[in-house]
A and B are shown apart, each in its own frame.
Chain A
């Protein structure tokens, strides 16, 4: 009796726990179909209107904020991925002085609360006299994404078989050719994962953004500002659409890698 109870307890708990995690997501999704007026708090009936006219509310404020978030996310991702990938290659491949200091410098941004990172940058921009706009947001996001890129790409560089590059060199490939045709393609999955992570971190960041954005509104900042007077259902539409897109990307990546593992197991 005790054994069978124990056997069921954990799966039942896991299902309930996962359902609990989904509650606010489902709520947000359902209320994107709410035929709401100004605020989106009580249910007033089902409609597709908000999905079809996302940009019409408040003179397109939701879409403008969303657009800003995309621009910032893309720019910070490109910058952080480039800088972080270079560091990751150097750390795994080369010996250099101040190694532990470099590691510490990469670790600290991840261990510092966002509010400190945000306030610090804002204090610096203030003392140097840089006006806060979209550029300062991109600079800030690039900063906190770098460490995450390094950690993600580092694992990939470490698992790379150096024999493959040696083979390229033995076949008279120039260093540039070896990098472009062998190293880079092999690192690509890690670099892509790092880029996705950076984009996700940047897109959802609010705290650091709030300190360094001036009058520019990103999607999370728009929600924060509007929270007191009510969030329009259109914000739920944007968030739900992003959620579905992200879910599709991640699930298809998981399923395809599982399928590849199966194929490899069969052929090997």
Chain B
């Protein structure tokens, strides 16, 4: 639910703090220490684990510290399809969520401005999915879209789907689930920027005889860029690392497993910690690279 966070801080001018005092250190120290201990050092121990070699006794789940960089080669050759699939699925889901959310956010943030109560109630509906368990929501879709369900049997009856086709268990179902689950993360930052959009710019553009499509393309979209950047990041990052939607008990199948699924399996089932760690490091590095390039190109560098 970082949406509000991301979107509001981008445009807020940073207040310049005035005082220098030892109190600051006292206030910062406990929390910063906590993050160093439980966020930073775990990343380092993940990095160390990713280079570990199996122990010489060959016991399952026993490893010794080493510099086995071949671990990375190994996981890339073993799991390249999963890695590519994760980023591919996340990218498609992000685009779908953007296309779905933009008109909705525009309606709530711009069209509905004269009715603030309606605006806030619609926002409650947008975040309502957060109030019900993420996993139950996904399972609900699995039932609603199962082979015996009303929707799928109807689609088959009107020949929009082949009689022996399935929806659940396919890559399309996983992308659908990712899109649905992360729509609120997209809609809310979009709403926050659109809600503050100065409509006089749009009027000025049409006064200058810009076609509505041109107004949208050249004025509305650039002005809502902070929301688009925040929303796409908030959707893409968790979607790329998700493994609930792609899990076989949920919407996934054998040919739709993502990097998260293999990290989970290697860590919690196979006890192949170095492989899980190497995959995590790859996931995190790729995301950080994508994010920094994307944020630079979109021109909003002060996300926090």
Contact = CB atoms under 8 A, between A and B. Distances in A.
Interface stretch (B14-22, B161-169, B195-203): B14-22
A94 B127 CA distance: 34
A92 B17 contact: yes
Interface stretch (B2-10, B76-84, B152-160, B216-224): B2-10
B276 A119 contact: yes
A119 B263 contact: yes
A117 B240 contact: no
Interface stretch (A47-55, A108-116, A164-172, A181-189): A108-116
A126 interface: yes
Given A95-B24, A148-B2, A231 B139 contact: yes
A231 to B, nearest CB: 6
Nearest to B135: A223
B66 interface: no
Interface string A147-165: 1101110110010000000
B294 to A, nearest CB: 12
B131 interface: yes
Contact of B5 (A152, A211, A243): A152
A239 B124 contact: no
Contacts of B4: 152
B50 to A, nearest CB: 9
B284 A116 contact: yes
B291 interface: yes
Given A24-B129, A96-B24, A111-B237, A254 B124 contact: yes
Interface string B43-72: 101101100000000000000000000000
Contact of A27 (B8, B20, B144): B144
B273 interface: yes
B100 to A, nearest CB: 7
A10 B42 CA distance: 47
Most chain A CB atoms below 10 A, which of B18, B138, B260, B287: B260
A264 interface: no
A192 interface: no
A111 B241 CA distance: 11
Q: Is the interface of A mostly helix, strand, loop or mixed?
A: helix
A18 B264 CA distance: 33
Interface residues of B, number: 98
Nearest to B241: A113
Given A21-B125, A223-B136, A113 B240 contact: yes
Interface residues of A, number: 92
B139 A119 contact: no
B35 interface: yes
Nearest to B130: A200
B192 to A, nearest CB: 12
Contact of A22 (B121, B125, B267): B125
A14 B104 CA distance: 5
A94 B24 contact: yes
A246 B133 CA distance: 12
B117 to A, nearest CB: 5
B202 to A, nearest CB: 14
Contact of B42 (A23, A120, A220): A120
Contact of B244 (A11, A105, A206, A240): A206
A137 interface: no
Given A120-B45, A127-B49, A148-B1, A107 B303 contact: yes
A32 to B, nearest CB: 10
Nearest to A154: B9
Contacts of A201: 1
B244 A122 contact: no
A199 B121 CA distance: 22
Given A21-B128, A90-B28, A113-B238, A231 B136 contact: yes
A58 B89 CA distance: 37
Contacts of B238: 113-114
9 closest A-B pairs by beta carbon, nearest first, are: A113-B241, A120-B42, A94-B24, A24-B140, A151-B5, A83-B31, A227-B249, A246-B131, A90-B27
Given A24-B180, A87-B28, 19 more contacts: A21-B129, A21-B183, A24-B144, A89-B27, A96-B24, A105-B36, A106-B304, A113-B242, A113-B284, A119-B276, A119-B277, A151-B5, A155-B8, A158-B15, A207-B243, A210-B268, A220-B133, A224-B247, A243-B128
6 contacts: A17-B104, A84-B31, A96-B25, A115-B259, A143-B38, A243-B128
